[in-house]
Amino acid sequence: MSLKPPVHRGMKELDRSAFTLNLPVVALRVPTKSIGMIKTDLANDVLRLPKLRNVIDDEGGNKTHKMVLLKPEISLQLEQASERLQSLIHEHKWSMQMHSVKVGYDSWTADDILRAILPDSSQAPTSYEQVGHIAHMNLRDEYLEYKSIIGQVILDKSSTVTMVVNKVDTIDNTFRNFKMEVLAGTQDFMATVRENDCVFRFDFSKVYWNSRLHPEHERLVNKFAQGASICDVMAGVGPFAVPAAKRGTLVWANDLNPASYAALCDNVKLNKVQARVQPFNLDGRDFIRQAFEKYIAQARPIELPPIPKHSNSKTKPPPPIAVVSRSFDHVVMNLPAIALEFLDAFRGLFYRITGSAEPDRSLNLPEIHVHCFTKSEEPEKDILMRACRALGYPEDKYTELVADVHYVRKVSPKKDMYCLSLQLPESVA
C-alpha cells in the first residue's frame, strides 16, 4: 500500500493540519525483550513512516510488553504478512488488535504534499540546487501561482534550508548573476559553501555559483601540477583558483563583477592562500593581455610557500615550491555563454609582448580551458570551429588543433555544456 496524504487541490496558503490522516493498523502485543529481534527479523512487516514511533506502550500499562505497529496493508487475518511474522505469532501466541495512528504533516515528504496540492498530481517541483542554507529553485510558469506554498513546503522539509528562492530571469552575461525572489524563510543571501576542501563565502544574489559544477571544478583542478602557473580569466568567487592554490600552484585570478572580485579576495584570505593567489578586477580581454605581459616579465623561479604539513613540529619543513615556467601553464575561461569569443585576445599575444616575429622557444604556450554551450548535433566540431573563428585559425584545419572537448553537463533539453582544452597554436600567438 502506498500511503498518500489527503488531497487539497488548489491550496495556495499552507494549512498543515489539513494533511492529517487517521490510519488503522494492526498492533502486535509482544514481550519487551523481543523488540530488538522483531525490528531485525520483521523489518519488512513493521510500520515505517517519518517521525512516527512504530513501538508504543502497552495499552494496559504492562511494562513487560509493548505494542509493535505493523504496515497498514497487513490485516488481522495476516494477509500480506511475511511467513516469518505468521510463524512467530503462531509459535508465541502473540495477540493482535487494531490501533489508530495519527499521521500528520511532518510524516509526509515534500513530494507527497505538493502532489496533493497541485493540479497535476503526476509530478511535483521538488528539485532545487542547494547553496549553503539557500534552496534555489527554477519554477516553470505553470507553478508560479503556487510559488509561495511550494517554497514553504520545501523549507519545512529540509533541515538545512532556511531560505527558498526562485530565479526570475536569465543569467546576466556580464556579471553572471540573476534576479531572485524569496519564496519562504528569512532573507539572507550570504552563503557559505564547502567544496574541494575549501570554504567559499559570497552573496548569492550578486555573484554566480552553481553547486552542480562541483565535479567539473574538481576535474580541472586535478590537472594542475604543483608549481604550475594558472591564469583564471573569469574566476568568479574562486571555485578553480582557490583549490588550485591549495594544491601548490600560482594563480592570477580575475573577475569583472565587483561583487565576485570582493568575494574572491575574501575567499583567498579565508582559505589562507594569499601568497599563491593574486586577484584582479578587469575586463577579461584586458586581463589576458596585461597578465601575460606582467607575468612573462617577472624573474624566475618564483618561490611559493610550501603546502603546510600536519606533522610533528620536529619534522624538517618542506622547501618552497618553485614556479619555473616563463608563461602561464594553464588558462581557465569559465563563462560558458561567451568565453569562446575571448580567445581572440590570444591573437598575436606573444608577438606583442616579445616584439619579435620569431617565436621565443623559452616561452611555453599555455593550455587553455574554455567552458562553452552548444546546441549542435555535432558538438565537438561546432566548438572547435567556433574556437578557430575566435583565434583566427583556419577553420578547414580545425582537426589539426591539439584539443580535447569534454562533456560537462546538460543545461536544458537542447543545450549542453562542454569544456574545450586547447593548446594555444604557435601560429596564433
Instruction: Pick 101 or 316 by higher pLDDT.
Output: 101
Average of per-residue pLDDT across 50-79:
92
Percentage of the chain lying above the pLDDT 90 cut = 86
pLDDT at 174: 64
Number of helical (H) and strand (E) elements in the chain, helices listed first: 10, 19
Cα separation, 46 vs 40, in Å, equals 10
Distance from the first to the final alpha carbon of the chain:
68
- Does residue 159 register a pLDDT over 70? yes
Cα separation, 109 vs 156, in Å, equals 10
pLDDT digits (tens, 9 = 90+) for 213-237: 999 999 999 999 999 999 999 999 9
- Does residue 169 register a pLDDT over 80? no
- Does residue 208 register a pLDDT over 60? yes
Give the helix ranges, DSSP H, for 192-257. Answer: 214-221, 241-246
pLDDT at 309: 75
Is the peptide bond preceding residue 301 cis, with omega within 30 degrees of 0? Answer: yes
pLDDT digits (tens, 9 = 90+) for 141-158: 999 999 999 999 999 999
Cα separation, 96 vs 69, in Å, equals 10
Closest CA to 96 of 79, 113, 111: 79
**To which residue does cell 519562504 refer?**
184
Q: In what order do the strands lie in the sheet with 134-137?
A: 129-131, 134-137, 163-167, 180-185
3-state class (DSSP) for residue 192: strand
Cα separation, 48 vs 77, in Å, equals 20
- pTM of the model as a whole: 0.86
Cα separation, 129 vs 211, in Å, equals 7
Average pLDDT value for the chain: 93
- Does residue 173 register a pLDDT over 60? no
Cα separation, 410 vs 340, in Å, equals 18
Q: Does residue 128 contact residue 137 with C-beta atoms inside 8 Å?
A: yes
